[in-house]
Amino acid sequence: MTQPINVWKKTSTAALLALLLALPVAEGQSSAQAANPAASAQTVEQKNAAQAKAKEMVEALMANYGVTGAQYAIRDGGKVVLSGGTTLDDSGNKQNIDAGSMFGIGSVSKMYVTAATMMLVDDGKIDMDKPLTTYISDFKMADERYKEITPRMLMNHSAGLYGSHYKNSMLLGDNDTQNYDQLLSNLSKQRLKSDPGEYSVYANDGFQLLELLVERVSGMGYSEFLQKNVSEPLGLTSTKTPLDTFDRNQLEPIRLPGIPNALLPENANILGTGGVYSTAEEMTLFSEVLSGKHPELLSAASAEAMLQPEYRNGVWVPDTKNAFGYGLGWDSVDLEPFGDYNIRAATKGGDTIMYHSALITLPDDDISIAFVTSGGSSVFNTTAGTDILLEYLKQTGKITNILPEQTFQKPVKQAMPASMDKYSGLYGNVGETRIVKIENGAIQMPALMSDMIPAQSYVYTGDGEFTSEDGRAVLGFDEQTNGHTYMRITSDLQFPSIGSSRMAFYEVQKLDANPVEASAAAAWKQREGKTYYALDEKINSLFYIAPSVLTKTIKLDASGGYANGTKIVDADHAVNVAEIPVMNGRDTFDLDFSRQGGIEYLQADGRTYVSEDAIQPIYAGHASLVTIPASGSVRWFDIPASLAGKTLTAELPEGTGFAVYDANGAPVGLSVAMGSNTAVLPEGGKIVFGGAAGNVLKVNLK
């Protein structure tokens, strides 16, 4: 759902590592083994191979990838055959996890709203190829093409929506529904980035619209619909949404380095997109619905329709082996490496800020695995789940051997034809532009995929492709049918101790020159390098832990025609131009500036931001009052050098709080997350106070 925080990096997890102590993982044994004479003849080691692999994966994730709790389950033929996991207590000691511990499952929630939609298709209440406006008459956008959007396009990510409205969606201990309540209003002001159906690129807002569709057509609230049509028939007792009433102590604790106690519960208040809580065992039971094994809930025909390669209906990377390959709801309907064993596999991953999940199903074999964590990333969960599932398939005789990891060699440079020079130039994706230079048959590339692909040189190796120094990544250029030229990356991503994943995607899109009129160019030049700060995010938002989401620093390309990857059209406006399939074209935005009372504001991605020029130093006296204005949820202040090292203590009325950041933007004081009303002020940092309009916070400096 959201982009996960990169807490898995070694540099970011040092504080976590001191907490990690080794304890055994709780496991369940396969009942199928006892019934299988061939399995009973195996050695104990062979019988427990999947069990041992699961324990190995959990230990690796907790030691190296920022995971503080993990739970998994395999279901085979309707029975749980493997279940277990590990969690940390408040002292940092490892404990066996309870099978009933609930995790936020992030974007795996999309499978629930997709299934709900298809249930209504089965009932003849929805035609997934009719316009969405047939069912949501008040759905409108600032682009007449919205009338062409269908429910199918929402489910396969091809509707052309900008992507996501995240404002006030991820809250600590707060199930505020304002994000969902404002969905139609936000979309009414937005254009489409492409023709509906032209290509698939990940879009969260589409699944929020599906949630609304289910409510409008069924006549009941979405949480109620899930309870009545999924949880009750399947006997699910731990599959809930933030709007349900249940014991929040069942939720797996979420933790941050340096904070001894667990945080308040995380509420992903975008239910269709990522708001479901569940357990690994209950996820695998729901997976049987998605495989057509419960026709009384979802017809086999609808389940099969969800498993079709919808991504191939539009512009897409040509590679066949890929972690991405959208069906209806599914991230991939032909997940590798299972195809190498002639096994059909589908997967869905999910990330909130603190929870991460993966569901893999083998629909023709009635086998599934769910792997959920607190901390980490869905990419790692999917990789770990794949390895465990392969071990289980081998253990039960469904495959003979596990194929060895592919090896890679340093590339041998070839003579490059002059025709490749045309691909040098300006490229962009969401948020940035870059110059791609092809010099002497080589391209220098920065780190890609959140540093999962390291910065390195790619040399020409023939057939229009360049190969990385480590041999793991191949770069090419595709001139696609929609008129755009894309840089294509195919890479075998290696995750030490847990495995690898093959990904193929379009990294950037070639951009045309964009000459800008002189006065407009001057206005943008004045903004270059300035940071704008969000004013309307609630102070209990988890995004204050990852403040990059709440700031925008304006960056122009060398020619001055583009800002943060958007195309400048006049002195105050720049529009999205990224039309990139798969993932790198997701969550696009426009930039719209305005001024009021001499202060410049920015509107982007549904939020209002204020210029750094308007941020004043916090009052340096011993005591002061901070009043939250009616126009926004928060007030930002600079921390001058004279206050560095002083301790701030605030009297915080209910619903208020603050966050303190150092000069590099790293959080050093989070009152809501830490449960503390004091913080030491860093030199050159910033502090933001938040609450309801009119709240007054008393601040003391000592």
Q: What is the mean pLDDT of residues 556-561?
A: 96
Give the whole-number percent of the chain exceeding pLDDT 70. 93
Record the pTM: 0.92
Strand pairing category for 485-495 and 473-479: antiparallel
Distance between CA 64 and CA 302 in Å, rounded?
A: 40
The answer to whether residue 388 scores a pLDDT higher than 70 is yes
For the beta carbon of residue 33, count every other beta carbon within 10 angstroms. 18
CA angle 275, 278, 280 (to 5 degrees): 135
Q: Which of 589, 587, 604, 564 is nearest to 428 (CA)?
A: 564
Q: Which of 388, 404, 402 is nearest to 341 (CA)?
A: 402
Which of the four pLDDT bands, split at 50, 70 and 90, describes residue 30?
very low
Amino acid present at 629:
P
Distance between CA 317 and CA 41 in Å, rounded?
A: 46
Strand pairing category for 647-651 and 696-701: antiparallel
The answer to whether residue 8 scores a pLDDT higher than 80 is no
Mean pLDDT estimate for the chain: 92
Q: Are 212 and 271 in contact (CB under 8 A)?
A: no
Distance between CA 12 and CA 283 in Å, rounded?
A: 30
What's the confidence (pLDDT) of residue 24? 26
Which of the four pLDDT bands, split at 50, 70 and 90, describes residue 258?
confident
Q: Which long-range contacts (CB under 8 A, 24 or more apart) does 524-529 make?
A: 524/554, 524/556, 524/560, 524/563, 524/568, 524/571, 524/574, 525/556, 525/560, 527/554, 527/563, 527/593, 528/554, 528/555, 528/556, 529/553, 529/554, 529/555
Token digits of residue 65: 């990838």
Distance between CA 156 and CA 163 in Å, rounded?
A: 13
Q: Which of 105-119, 236-250, 623-637 has the lowest mean pLDDT?
A: 623-637
Distance between CA 375 and CA 68 in Å, rounded?
A: 6
Segment 488-539, tens digit of pLDDT:
999 999 999 999 999 999 999 999 999 999 999 999 999 999 999 999 999 9
Torsions phi, psi for 529 (to 5 deg) = 85, -10
Token digits of residue 489: 């990356």
Amino acid present at 571:
A
Token digits of residue 439: 């010099």
Q: Which of 43-57, 132-146, 620-634 has the lowest mean pLDDT?
A: 43-57
Strand pairing category for 562-563 and 616-617: unpaired
Token digits of residue 611: 């210029």
Distance between CA 638 and CA 294 in Å, rounded?
A: 58
Token digits of residue 228: 């009545």
Distance between CA 539 and CA 626 in Å, rounded?
A: 14
What's the confidence (pLDDT) of residue 35? 38
CA angle 611, 617, 619 (to 5 degrees): 140
The answer to whether residue 28 scores a pLDDT higher than 50 is no
Segment 577-595, tens digit of pLDDT:
999 999 999 999 999 999 9
Dihedral of CA atoms 288, 289, 295, 301 in degrees, nearest 10, equals -100
For the beta carbon of residue 172, count every other beta carbon within 10 angstroms. 23
Which of the four pLDDT bands, split at 50, 70 and 90, describes residue 632?
confident
Q: What is the DSSP string of 415-466?
A: PPPGGGGGG-EEEEETTEEEEE--BTTEEEE--BTTTTB--EEEEEEETTEE
What's the confidence (pLDDT) of residue 37? 41
Q: Which of 36-45, 406-415, 444-453 has the lowest mean pLDDT?
A: 36-45
Token digits of residue 109: 């929630």
Q: Which of 563, 570, 591 is nearest to 518 (CA)?
A: 570
Helix ranges restricted to H, 100-192: 109-122, 151-155, 178-181, 183-188
Distance between CA 250 and CA 278 in Å, rounded?
A: 10
Q: What is the mean pLDDT of residues 394-408?
A: 94
Segment 310-343, tens digit of pLDDT:
999 999 999 778 899 999 999 999 999 999 999 9
Q: What is the mean pLDDT of residues 557-583?
A: 97
Does an H or E element contain 340, and which? Answer: none
Q: What is the mean pLDDT of residues 375-397?
A: 97
